Amino acid sequence: MTPSYYKHHLFFCLNQRANNEACCAQHDAQAAFDHCKARVKAAGLAGPGGVRVNKAGCLDRCAGGPVAVVYPEAVWYTFVDQADIDEIVESHLKNGQVVERLLLPPGVGR
pLDDT of residue 38: 97
Is 83 within 8 Å of 77 (Cβ atoms)? no
According to DSSP, the β-strands at 51-56 and 67-71 are: unpaired
**pLDDT per residue as tens digits for the range 55-74:** 999 999 989 989 999 999 99
Is 5 within 8 Å of 48 (Cβ atoms)? yes
The rounded radius of gyration (Å) of the Cα atoms in the chain is 13
pTM above 0.75, yes or no: yes
Query: What is the end-to-end Cα distance of the chain in Å, rounded?
Result: 35
pLDDT of residue 110: 81
- Pick out the chain residues at pLDDT < 70: 1-3
pLDDT of residue 40: 97
Domains of the chain: 8-102 (3.40.30.10)
